[in-house]
Amino acid sequence: MSFLHLFRWFSHTWLSCTMRDSTWGFAIVEVGHLLALAILGGTILTLDLRLLGLGLKRQPAASVAQAVYPLLLGSLTLMVVSGVLLVATDPMKYYESGPFRIKILLLVIGIVVHFVIQIKTAKNKTEVIPVWTRGAAILSLLLWLGVGVAGRAIGLV
């Protein structure tokens, strides 16, 4: 099954019809999506800046990684669920959107990079932060910035 078939099928589901016909559905879901984005961005920024030595210097990086993990999982879950609901409003529009495709690609890469960083950092009991971890933190910040910019571009197209 191709993505085109998946998006066509999705456009005819009960969920898609409900979201498309709702007066306030998109706006309410968008608020949840943006709140989740703010929390997710804060958790990622907190850990990545700690790994770069630019914040929370008195806190062990492993403690920071463990502390933000539940917030990261919760906000990421809310973002994905609300994102699916937003796509449900007009799946074919999103399928044809270049910025949407870029956003999803950067999102998947960003999730993988960040979880690798977070898991390795949480397991690191020394306070020496390897150079590769600092580089990965910079990559993570750039990927998430790209997700945000591509997400904003979806609304402009």
Residues 72-112: tens digit of each pLDDT: 999 999 999 999 999 999 999 999 999 999 999 999 999 99
- Confirm if 97 and 154 have CB atoms less than 8 A apart: yes
Where exactly are the structural domains of the chain?
3-156
Intervals of the chain under pLDDT 50:
none
pTM for the model: 0.86
**pLDDT on residue 134:** 86
Question: Which residues lie below 8 Å from residue 116, measured CB to CB, with a gap of 6+?
Answer: 136
